[in-house]
Structure 1
């Protein structure tokens, strides 16, 4: 059955929060993303591994941003999410101290959850014994605790859950949050994703499966989406949070509406554990569903923030799918050239960047794109950021297991 346009209350984005390798906070991250300055660098915590570089958040000290009394019971993933959430909530003009918590939901995406905590505690188990294991490991590491911990910190008592659709987790969370609002299950939803996967075990595993770039002598040039010379992704940490409300509610309280969540499509390749279906059939289906639910045609789309992971298979599959759906009209970018690939947080961060493109009429360049793969025949922005009038934008996220998620975001 063909998808039809969403009906019911319009869903607005009223707040943004970002913590990324490009910087702490929306303004800092956006500035570096628009400058096209890569962040990948040699990482001392990965010393001795075949791939020893990452996109780590610079100068991030949790105690500078969060109550030290809470930090000891949070995995780094949760810390990143809470910092971004605090920024987004303040940006939306909301105050957890006075809001009706029963009407506030939290839906967050992550791929690895508290994997860093598990890795650390396993090391203790092996080297120091079971008596040294933290009694908090089972309230820090499970993926659900990402949303659960934020509910505790923010006094949010509405629907609370985590989506885990690999690198599509953030858009899945945002779309789920929008449906909660449309169903009147809550009035405000804190939605997005967070990930802190820069650990030796995670990187060793990604290296063994051939997912990582191996440009160890030039890490800043390693993540090069859509470039002929790409050889893999650069893993990153980060968080992206959007505050969502019904547009009518936001207007009633005098809030600024930054953009609208207009449509969403999802599908599964059902093809391979880690590789995309090379035909792009099901990614295309998710795209067409997203456009249909938004009530727009491919010709209405001005900009696509692509998944653009810098892996040989993903980029060509996505690029050819984009050509089939849109032709050469929309300006395409991948902000991963700057931020790296933050796995379950990537799509949420990119949703925030897409909102900023809509607001500012500015499309960031795809960093390190020097020679576009001739098999990818779309208009990829490179070199400098491009001024453009953007009314309708799409952001793509594709993950291991063949998870496909596509969001349509439109101007306020």
Structure 2
């Protein structure tokens, strides 16, 4: 089977605007959650989020393009530039004919849609921007990355709510394995810190209302967790066949060893309480990677900080890993930078890769009172210096979408 290597990383999120800054802030457990500054929250139940502060899109594109791109598209370009520079692929042209772009977004250009809707309500249909549709549709992240860098292979997005960008990584891996492409630019992007999404998620009681303590609001696995905190940003990963990467003497971080995908067939927003669908995805990923559960050192969990989700996921880990689940390091990175929905898994996967490369596992600073079911599990509160080789990354989405990926670090 063709081995799929990771050769480039790029991210922008609430704690970092580069992979190097991301690595340091993960290690130091910096929390990027604060009071929302992008709109007036006076009438909102939820007033906190993990915002990308002081973002200037003109650092990554000219002003004309920036005006025509929704924030989620701007993030995609910014992260892709870093990932391609990191990979060294931007030094040549020949690879672009046989490369895929799969940049996911769960929601797309909601900011633009909401702004244009308000304009139409106030002044009528004539004022609606002719750029609304291409600024809004979620596939356009893949489109603009392809256009910006001249990449001419398969070009599409994956939409599966919060599992979107891990699906993108899995599908990119599949395309390389089967010889359709040599390179896949994969990941996700999201920018939904806006009045309507915040109100909608709040009204369905999915968001934390810990407005008086923003940095303590996202608390995966803690008894006092009360919902997730909205985040934003992008994560882009360059995947290559091992042969293609070695032929050009690329720096290889590690390998996507296996993936598994499943559906809960249970509920539109709630997870299966026993985590059976999630456990199936993990088992399929292990089977695809051809490794035993005992080889897994680290699990970077979906861990949104919702009452039902965190427990279902830990039950899934016990089901899939058996007694070894008690020995695996377990973490949830949303505690630091919030939940970027369709972009979340890619950002977290990059964080996982950086931690494994540098030999540490970031702690869970808000885990003060672990849920009773978790007391025998290995969830560090502080950063641990340890070398790990195999990890599992989980991501789950509304609609019962489950994805797990096995990663091997060098």
Which residue is equivalent to 1:349? 347
- Cα distance between partner residues in 2 of 1:217 and 1:96: 48
TM-score by length of 1: 0.96
- Cα distance between partner residues in 2 of 1:112 and 1:96: 33
- Cα distance between partner residues in 1 of 2:202 and 2:297: 36
Which residue is equivalent to 1:407? 405
Q: Is the 2:190–2:233 contact (alpha carbons within 8 Å) kept by the matching residues of 1? A: yes
- 2:14 alignment partner, one of 14, 21, 33: 21
- Cα distance between partner residues in 1 of 2:201 and 2:284: 31
- Cα distance between partner residues in 1 of 2:253 and 2:376: 28
Which residue is equivalent to 1:218? 213
Which residue is equivalent to 1:139? 134
- Give, in angstroms, the shift of residue 389 of structure 1: 2.1
- Give, in angstroms, the shift of residue 321 of structure 1: 1.9
3-state secondary structure, aligned to 1:23 = coil
- Give, in angstroms, the shift of residue 46 of structure 1: 4.3
Q: Is the 1:366–1:380 contact (alpha carbons within 8 Å) kept by the matching residues of 2? A: no
Which residue is equivalent to 2:286? 291
Which residue is equivalent to 1:337? 335
3-state secondary structure, aligned to 1:163 = coil
- Cα distance between partner residues in 2 of 1:166 and 1:24: 24
**Higher mean Cα deviation, 33-42 or 299-308?**
33-42
Which residue is equivalent to 2:167? 172
Q: Does 1:303 align with 2:298?
A: yes
3-state secondary structure, aligned to 1:72 = helix
- Cα distance between partner residues in 1 of 2:281 and 2:332: 19
Runs of at least 4 residues of structure 1 off by over 4 A? none
CA RMSD of aligned residues (A): 1.3
- Give, in angstroms, the shift of residue 96 of structure 1: 6.8
- Cα distance between partner residues in 1 of 2:31 and 2:230: 13
Q: Is the 2:105–2:139 contact (alpha carbons within 8 Å) kept by the matching residues of 1? A: no
- 1:67 alignment partner, one of 50, 54, 62: 62
- Give, in angstroms, the shift of residue 378 of structure 1: 5.1
User: Which whole-Å deviations, capped at 9, do the CAs of 1:266-310 have from their partners, x for residues lacking one?
Assistant: 111111111101011111011000000001111000000011100
Q: Does 1:279 align with 2:260?
A: no
- 1:47 alignment partner, one of 38, 41, 47: 41
- Cα distance between partner residues in 1 of 2:356 and 2:291: 16
- 2:253 alignment partner, one of 244, 258, 263: 258
- Cα distance between partner residues in 2 of 1:98 and 1:69: 26
Which residue is equivalent to 2:373? 375
Which residue is equivalent to 2:235? 240
Q: Is the 2:303–2:309 contact (alpha carbons within 8 Å) kept by the matching residues of 1? A: yes
- Cα distance between partner residues in 2 of 1:184 and 1:79: 31
How many pairs are equivalent? 405
Which residue is equivalent to 1:3? none
- Cα distance between partner residues in 2 of 1:397 and 1:17: 19
- Give, in angstroms, the shift of residue 65 of structure 1: 2.6
- Cα distance between partner residues in 1 of 2:89 and 2:4: 17
* Distance verdict in 2 for CA 1:191–1:96, change over 3 Å: farther
